[in-house]
Amino acid sequence: MTWVLITGATSGIGREAALRLARAGARVIATGRDPAKIGALVAEADASGVSLTTAVLDVADPASVDAAARRVEELTGGYGVDVLVNNAGFGEMSPVVLCDAARARRTFETNLLGAARCVRAFLPAMRARGRGRIVNVSSVLGRVVMPLQGVYAGAKHALEAMNDALRLEVEPFGVQVLLLEPGAVDTGFNDVAFRPLDALADDPDWGSAIRRMHAFESSYRRTAARPEALAEVLERLCLGDRPPARVTSPRMARLQLDAMRVAPRAVRESALRIGLALSPPSRPAAAPTKTALVTGAAGGIGRETTYRLAKAGWKVIATDMSPEGLRAVAAHAKEQRLPVETRRMDVTDDAAVRAIAQGVELDLLVNNAGYAEVAPIELATDAAWRDQMAVNVHGMLSVTRAFAPAMIRRRRGRIVNVSSVVGRVTFPFLGVYGASKHAVEAITDALRIELGGFGIEVCAVQPAFIRTGFSARAKASLERYDVTTGPYRKAFEQMDRVLDRLDKLGGEPSDVARAVARAASRPAPQARYQTPLSAWLAVRTVPWLPVSVADEGMARFMGTRR
């Protein structure tokens, strides 16, 4: 008998999977946050002669996850579960610039942090006995981006990064990590997802796209797969002998995903704009002034970017949360007679960001503020996840929401988001950081599609590991975790060597500054800029490799092989 715990099991795919797995003989622990819905599921199971065990579990509530873990320990006599299915999630549609801070955080809290909490709760027992499976339910939006769904796609891109890092980290312990990417499924998901659009139906900027999206809803439901079909796939992933690492289902979703991945980006994004009646990209009018704002301007990349833009004729507003760092930037700028103004701004303080944006009209916004959390997924705490997302993702969203409206009114502007090669290629022990940068990549794509018709161009710069003290900060990050005596000791014994390798593959802050300057000055910027050459090679090869080949190469490079 196999113990299987399913989150979000009271509706849709989770509900059908719970019933199907129970019929197949698994001992299913079906969980959900609503006791009434749990009761309805039990009644349905009893009526069909199926035995289910249930537990209340709200993945967005750490205390609820802890309580569910204690209940599982009691139910199984301390054994734990053989299979964890991270299925709980939701999405709400909105243009990125209109998705408020609370809604964005709620989306990540459930879809990403909820899965991470359950991994922390149920992985240790699997690792201790040397076998187990974790199945993460993502979406095709974990690999492609649709307009009006950028924040949800960002959360699902982040979940895929976490999944891939976790797979590499726990493979030596005999634990399998699998991914299901559903396409269109006829569940109650859309009832929730479409609700925020109703208030925008008459909006002069977004109304036509909203109405077109609602028109697509009926055809979406006609072509969507039944949740029973996805439950069948989940049964194979949970109980099958040799399940694949990644499954996209149904077949139509696989075809759509393959078509979108091979189509040129410009063609793909034009089709999406036409389909949703979004205005085609318009060439912005020439800027009478050249005003730029750089976040994280006191750090290595931000500082070099500030100086380079100022030397190129931009009036630069350099922002950072470090007063000392800003004083150093101001002193150098004054010495070099560069047009740089400094302002203290914490990107995680939404109200403060909005206050600074009042009356400021930018031609260029460089979202650079960020840092890297280094930790195994199993050990990364809620605080580590929240802090990482607060700066790298929600901070970027906050600054963009604050400064983009003026660009929209003027029908002119450019946004450059500093991402990372880790936004496309996942490394073990960099899963938290990688999740944040995968989210940045998805949100960047959504912004480019949504804002192009307003004369706003959006692109990303993807550096490799830049020599700005990354290794020292990574070691300091690891000191917060038990990596010297715990289960990950062997991997981390050689972390110094690995970090030295990463440094050799990386470049200098000035390399990134040059890439940002190119993205800022080109008449028609590319969607992506990589620097140095190692980043260019990585993003064009690794994501296209079979999972087994990519994992083998990464495990050899990072020294995590069994």
pLDDT at 217: 74
CB neighbourhood size of 463 (10 A): 27
User: Is the pLDDT reported for residue 506 higher than 90?
Assistant: no
User: Is the pLDDT reported for residue 13 higher than 80?
Assistant: yes
User: Is the pLDDT reported for residue 287 higher than 60?
Assistant: no
Helices 150-170 and 431-451, interaxial angle, to 10°? 160
Residue ranges with strand state E in 124-167 = 132-137
User: Is the pLDDT reported for residue 492 higher than 70?
Assistant: yes
What single DSSP character describes residue 363? S
pLDDT tens digits, one per residue of 380-429:
999 999 999 999 999 999 999 999 999 999 999 999 999 999 999 999 99
Which comes out higher in pLDDT, residue 288 or 555? Answer: 555
Residue 214's pLDDT band (cuts 50, 70, 90): confident
pLDDT tens digits, one per residue of 425-483:
999 999 999 999 999 999 999 999 999 999 999 999 999 888 766 667 777 777 777 77
pLDDT tens digits, one per residue of 80-97:
999 999 999 999 999 999
pLDDT tens digits, one per residue of 340-380:
999 999 999 999 999 999 999 999 999 999 999 989 999 99
At residue 479, what is the residue type? E
User: Is the pLDDT reported for residue 261 higher than 90?
Assistant: no
> Pick from 466, 457, 363: which is nearest to 406 by CA?
363
Question: Cα 324–325–331 angle (5° rounding)?
Answer: 90
Q: How far apart are CA 224 and CA 526, in angstroms?
A: 34
pLDDT at 226: 92
- Tracing tokens 């009434």 back to the chain, one arrives at 36
| All domains in the chain, ordered by first residue | 3-198+226-262 (3.40.50.720), 291-558 (3.40.50.720)
391, 371 Cβ separation under 8 angstroms: yes
370, 344 Cβ separation under 8 angstroms: no
418, 366 Cβ separation under 8 angstroms: yes
pLDDT at 491: 76
pLDDT tens digits, one per residue of 85-142:
999 999 999 999 999 999 999 999 999 999 999 999 999 999 999 999 999 999 999 9
pLDDT at 555: 85
For 294, how many CA atoms within 13 A lie in the half-sphere containing its CB? 30
> Pick from 193, 180, 179: which is nearest to 230 by CA?
180
336, 316 Cβ separation under 8 angstroms: no
317, 293 Cβ separation under 8 angstroms: yes
73, 80 Cβ separation under 8 angstroms: yes
Given CA atoms 502, 548, 145, 283 in this order, what sign does their dihedral have?
positive
Q: Is 152 a catalytic residue?
A: yes
Active-site option among 152, 307, 433, 488: 152
Which comes out higher in pLDDT, residue 500 or 175? Answer: 175
pLDDT at 26: 97
User: Is the pLDDT reported for residue 79 higher than 90?
Assistant: yes
398, 105 Cβ separation under 8 angstroms: no
Q: 31 forms bridges with which residues in the sheet?
A: 55
